Amino acid sequence: MARLSEFSIILSLRIKQNTVGKLLRQAHQFPKEYAVIAASYKDHVSQLQTNYESALLSVFDKQPPDGVLLYSGSEQYYYADDRGVTFQAYGHFLHWIDVNRPGQMLCIR
């Protein structure tokens, strides 16, 4: 599998202006604290990438998959009620990106 710099991470969500993804692209426009956060997030994603690569290679000896699709989860409702259960995205999704919304997907190639 390719290293992080060769990976394309596709997000099917709208990234707000003050999210870490924006900070990674525009760290030079923010105070130094944001640059530190952006750098540590980049290291975090790099470590996740290494862990996913080794896990996939240990499971699929000959041909690893082209990518991994992570789903944040869907909204749940109480039985016979229109009130929704408080949503919490799946942990594997939240490891990659801090977006706690239902119906979001993250494709890692």
Q: What is the pLDDT of residues 65-91, one digit of tens each?
A: 888 899 999 998 888 888 888 999 999
What is the end-to-end Cα distance of the chain in Å, rounded?
Answer: 9
For residue 100, what is the enclosing H or E element?
A: none
Instruction: Note the pLDDT tens digit of each residue in 38-68.
Output: 788 888 888 998 998 888 888 887 787 888 8
> Which residues are CB-neighbours of 68 under 8 A, at least 6 positions away?
52, 56, 107, 108
Answer yes or no: pTM beyond 0.85: no
